[in-house]
Amino acid sequence: MAKAKRIKGVNCDDPAPAGIHQVLVTRFEEMDGFSKAALDWSDPEGVHSMRVASRRLRSAMRDFLPYVRQRGLTSVLKQTKSIAAALGEVRDHDVAIIALEKIEKEAPEEVRATLKQLVDERKELRSAAREKLVSVLVTTEVKQAKTEFLVRIDKATTLPRGSEPQLTYSKMSAAVILNRLKELDNLSESLYKPFEIESLHDMRIAAKRLRYAMELFEQCWGRSLLMFAKTAARMQTALGEVHDCDVWIESVGKQINQARKQKQDDRVAALIWLLSHFVKVRTKHLRRAYDLWREWEASDGSGQVRKAIR
């Protein structure tokens, strides 16, 4: 996965709209630059890189919505969401196939045949998802977005004639980081409700958005922010692994019930083994998330971030 491009030409003391414009144009060009790689099926990292770039773009747009004329930006946000959904479907199958193939090598002999079947089923689903991605990137949303994006961003970030100077880019960035930090702090209670799956997923998203915001605005507040961004990234990863296990547990559970109805005893046994595997792995990653959050609280991570942008 390629690292995010550093935003050039941003003066943190300028009015916020000028910096917003530069960020959004750069992030869109970054996402669009991965289009060719995303359609190269020989390397799944192309899809992953474009998907992450689309997430960074969408996260920035959400951060900036309170500070721009929203009408134009909202439609662009919907377009990028459509692109991200198509990328995400392919990426999810890529990750699932890689995971199942790894588990298959380590699994008991009696369950490997079923795991091989699951891999083959996933590959069929991925083929359909790839066809959909081609149609999205080559024929529809991206072409439309390319023609509309710059115009809409110009309109969204242009100050009305005669208007008072707005807050600076740096002050806006501080407000964004504080809002993202508050979201994460508020959702931290989810860690201690391990079976409230959606709340844990929301916390993962909050960690990701805080990370992206700190990475984006580091140039205004100094490289110390990157240390906190790395911690948020580790939290995001741990909670992401928990979420992936939750998705697997739900999916495998449904397949077990289907196999039971069809009296496929061998498949049931193999799927139960797989279900047990993901339950164990989920516990490991949840423990990791606990440890990371306790370290964050012990070092007053939230207070340190506030201090860094004060």
The rounded Cα 217 to chain-centroid distance in angstroms is 18
pLDDT band per the 50, 70, 90 thresholds, residue 139:
low
Residue 126, Cβ density class (10 Å: 0-12 exposed, 13-18 middle, ≥19 buried): buried
Q: Does the 15-158 domain belong in CATH 3.60.20.10? A: no
Give the integer Cα–Cα distance in Å for 58 and 82.
Answer: 11
| Identity of the amino acid at 127 | S
Q: Where are the domains of the chain?
A: 15-158, 167-310
Give buried/exposed letters for 175-201 (b at 16+ CB in 10 A, else e). bbbeebbebbeebbebbeeeeebeebb
pLDDT of 163 > 60? The answer is no
From residue 168, alpha-carbon distances to 85, 137, 156, 178, 204 in Å are 34, 36, 16, 16, 30
Read off the pLDDT of residues 194-227 as tens digits, 9 standing for 90 and up.
999 999 999 999 999 999 999 999 999 988 899 9
Read off the pLDDT of residues 44-94 as tens digits, 9 standing for 90 and up.
999 999 999 999 999 999 999 888 876 667 777 788 888 899 999 999 999
Find out whether 43 and 37 touch, Cβ atoms under 8 Å: yes
At residue 168, the 3 state secondary structure works out as strand
The pair of structure tokens assigned to 187 is: 């959702």
For the whole model, what pTM was predicted?
0.90
